[in-house]
Chains A and B, each alone.
Chain A
Amino acid sequence: MKRACFIFLLCELLFLCTILAGCAFRDIDKRFFVVAMGIDKSNDEKRPYDVTLKLAIPSPEIRPGKANFQIISEKADSIPEAVRVMKSKVDKEFDFGHCRMVVFDEKTIRKNQGFTINWFLRRRDIQGITYLGIGKPSARDVLKARVQSERLPGNALILSFDPTTNTSPYIMTSMLNDFYMRVREDGIDPYLPIIEPIKGSYNISKVALFAKGTLKADLTRDETRILNELMSTDRRGQINVASGGNQLFVNVDDLKSGIQVMLPKGEKPYIDVHLDIKGFIEGSGEKLATDQELKRYEKIAGATISKRVKRVLKTIQKMEADPLGLGLRYQAKMGATEQQTKDWERIYPNMDIRVHTDLKIKGTGTMY
């Protein structure tokens, strides 16, 4: 009797399960995936945050250019408030688990970056590997842009920032965790890539540098590339080393950069940059036949590269920005007290920069 009762209860439970799913149980199709977020500064004084969400509309068929999405935005006094209000605008629950892209506009991120990204750090469903960027002219314009090759909404930006799918040296990748570390840490400054929507795609080739907690300035495209190479990312491309009348392109195979803060006694401190580049020639205006010619070009090209790198570092130094973390290297040598931090701030703008490039041309490329 007891047994029969138990079996009956079990059957009843199973049956109820099938018809009463409950509210904690939310299927994947009952969630709205936020694939990208944009934070703009609004003109409204009381509600300064203009938050835009890019919501993916999933479809069983996936074809290029057919990525369906929905854009909603809301102004509020804070980001969480905006998200809360926006929930009333959609039919399903937001899921930030796949929000891999957060775009700010220049005005929002100019000051108080730590406070702005606080919400993203505290939400457990927003991943630490979320990419950050600055949208121009505004974050919403970036989210609104429809990319021709995009198969899934928001995927084009993620793929662009992923170093395994896009190795362009002009794209600098900034992730949430890394950005937060740079904001909090003395002796290293954050940076954010600038995303500009163009027709059917995005243009990501510049980077904005921060110094002393504020957004300083943008680097140009070529400066961005050199900074990217100095940061020893896996992104590499060709280097155009014009020498004399000859346009020489070197396809970089391997690039190692060693940066050191040198503090010789009784001398002016300087930054020592050592670049080790290995590559093949990809284009040359002149005929390259002998090893001697190659050696000559190696020398000339090396000098050209050194000069360029020095110029870029000078520009960055002038901004007093420190994306390379030179201040941390100084701290590693001298200690990390408040006094040392102050010392560094005094020393850094006047430091010499010495760049040495070892260019090794491994071959002239495939010739038939």
Chain B
Amino acid sequence: MEELQKEINCVKEKYDNNPDFKVHRFEYFEKKIALIYMKSLCNEAQIKKDIIEPLLLCEKQGKYLLHLLSMPSCQHINASDDVEKLLLQGNALIALSGEIYSVDVRKPTNDQPLDATVEQTVQGAQKGLSEDLTMNMTLVRNRYPSKQLKIEQQTVGTLSKTRIAILYDVDYVQEDVLDEVKKKISGLKADIIQAAGQLHNYMTKEKYRIFPTMMITERPDRLALNLSQGKVVILMNGTPFGLVAPAVFFDFLSSMDDKTLPYWVTRLLILLRYVGLLITIILPSLYIAITSYNPEIVRSQLALTIAGSRAGVPYPSFFEVLFMMFAVELLVESSLRLPKTIGPTATTVGGLILGQAAQQAQLVSSIMIIITAFVAISNFTIPINAMSFAVRCARYPLIVFASFFGIVGVVAGLILLLCHLSDLRSFGKPYLKMYWGTTDKMSKVRESRKE
């Protein structure tokens, strides 16, 4: 016990200057009692209710100890426990007659489920995850009340000590994926990890990465669904997003609405998204290829219209495309950063000026305006934001290829993109794997659990 006492003294010295470090001493049972906690991390009302009040009611020390140990979060501290860590995790330490007990009295932060704003659905659940890990686990458990659901907790980040939880269905989970996830998390070398995307970045080997290989979602219903598909879910304290591994390319184009709408409506919407994906990737480069290298592949009517509308434009087509793409990216980026109240102003001004005036000033052709709008709108049809950003990046290499080699360049660029995608692995699973745990499999209730 001397060791422990020494450690507490040590901690006390370390934190004595901090205003939120509190050592509360009083006497009861004719003994000295000390209550040590971090004020900023702990819920003082709970301390009062769970620790102080029972003390006053108990006439004997033994009864009080019984009460303390009967609390689920209370534990008797052995010398080996890291006192400092416990304090910083929001535990209150009670030093009583040479023994030390710790009680979890952590103050919850932002534990209300937030509205799903990033990944909205029309008819699905409207609430997303919260910023509190415990609450998030509650949300997932509620949606996946299976005895097979296993939760493992640990911390990442040498400084931030962010608590994360790994969730999986013991029966469905693919062991190789789970092993790899655990291996990668234990091998993390980072000081501060505060967001799901950041964890994703640290967990992937490749430094220069465009496409996300883990699904980032804020929807508990998607998490529950993915658990049933045998995927591994990682939740993190302090962020309303969860990570899912493995994720294939086609998952990123599925929306939770696909489950709530009728069959043919869903098919149409899925088709729409894939067409949108194709348009947003190749349309700008196709414009360059057609106007500057192979005008014969379009109908003569269209060729002459394009030629007519480009007649006054002084710069080559790829400059025109880059200029407009740049403008749209600026517009998207600015409306992202602006406060919600000013946002519409920026888009209106930007849209009007860029669209109308740039064409009237003969900086770009009117066809280009249509293409720009098309590309921007179809980019927004991709349901998962991470993929939407990735696709935005992926079209620029194609533009470069098209400006140098025309249609051949576009085709070659697409083949390269395909090669890259098929080369990608998400935790050992091929990235372009078709229909891995998408609608077909989900809608079936499986008789035998393990396949």
Contacts and interface: CB of A to CB of B under 8 A. Distances in A.
Contacts of B300: 33, 35, 98, 100, 152, 154-155, 158
Nearest to B362: A60
A324 interface: no
Interface string B289-328: 0111111100011011111111101011111001000000
A77 interface: no
Contacts of A154: 300
B403 A97 contact: no
A28 B316 contact: no
A100 B307 CA distance: 17
A176 to B, nearest CB: 15
B366 interface: yes
Contacts of A27: 291-292, 310, 316-317
B295 A59 contact: no
Contacts of B315: 18
Nearest to A126: B296
A60 B309 CA distance: 5
Interface residues of B, number: 27
Contact of A25 (B311, B313, B366, B403): B403
B308 A61 contact: yes
Interface string A148-189: 000111110010000000000000000000000000000000
Nearest to B287: A28
A97 B309 contact: no
A29 interface: yes
Given A28-B292, A59-B308, A97-B295, A33 B403 contact: no
Contacts of A95: 295-296
Given A25-B403, A27-B316, A155-B301, A58 B311 contact: yes
A56 interface: yes
- Most A CB within 10 A of own CB, among B300, B304, B403: B304
B296 A60 contact: no
Given A56-B304, A58-B305, A58-B308, A98 B403 contact: no
Interface string A102-131: 000000000000000000000001010000
A60 B366 contact: yes
B303 A33 contact: yes
Nearest to A18: B319
Contact of B307 (A18, A28, A155): A28
Nearest to B299: A98
B371 to A, nearest CB: 14
Given A25-B292, A95-B295, A98-B295, A31 B307 contact: yes
B310 A29 contact: yes
Nearest to B311: A29
A125 B322 CA distance: 29
Nearest to B300: A98
Interface in B184-215: none
A190 B295 CA distance: 31
Nearest to A158: B300
A207 B233 CA distance: 75
Contacts of A58: 304-305, 307-308, 311
B398 to A, nearest CB: 15
Contacts of A151: 301
A25 B316 contact: yes
Contacts of A31: 295, 307
Contact of A62 (B293, B303, B308, B403): B308
A27 B364 CA distance: 13
Contacts of B303: 28, 33, 97-98
A187 B403 CA distance: 49
A155 B304 CA distance: 11
Contact of A97 (B296, B316, B319, B322): B296
- Most A CB within 10 A of own CB, among B295, B300, B301, B313: B300
Contacts of B301: 151-152, 155
Interface string A45-62: 000000000001011111
Interface in B125-142: none
A87 interface: no
A311 interface: no
A25 B289 CA distance: 10
A28 B365 CA distance: 12
Interface string B388-405: 000000000000000100
A17 interface: yes
Contacts of A367: none
A28 B294 CA distance: 9
- Most A CB within 10 A of own CB, among B308, B311, B366: B308
Nearest to A96: B296
A21 interface: yes
A26 interface: yes
Given A29-B310, A33-B304, A153-B304, 5 more contacts: A25-B316, A58-B304, A95-B296, A127-B296, A152-B300
26 contacts: A17-B318, A18-B319, A18-B322, A21-B316, A21-B319, A27-B292, A27-B317, A28-B295, A28-B306, A28-B310, A29-B307, A29-B311, A31-B295, A33-B295, A33-B303, A56-B307, A58-B307, A60-B308, A61-B308, A95-B296, A97-B303, A98-B296, A98-B304, A152-B304, A153-B304, A155-B301
Interface of A: 17-18, 21, 25-29, 31, 33, 35, 56, 58-62, 95, 97-98, 100, 125, 127, 151-155, 158
9 shortest A-B CB distances, which residue pairs?
A97-B296, A58-B308, A58-B307, A98-B300, A28-B291, A29-B310, A21-B316, A60-B308, A60-B309
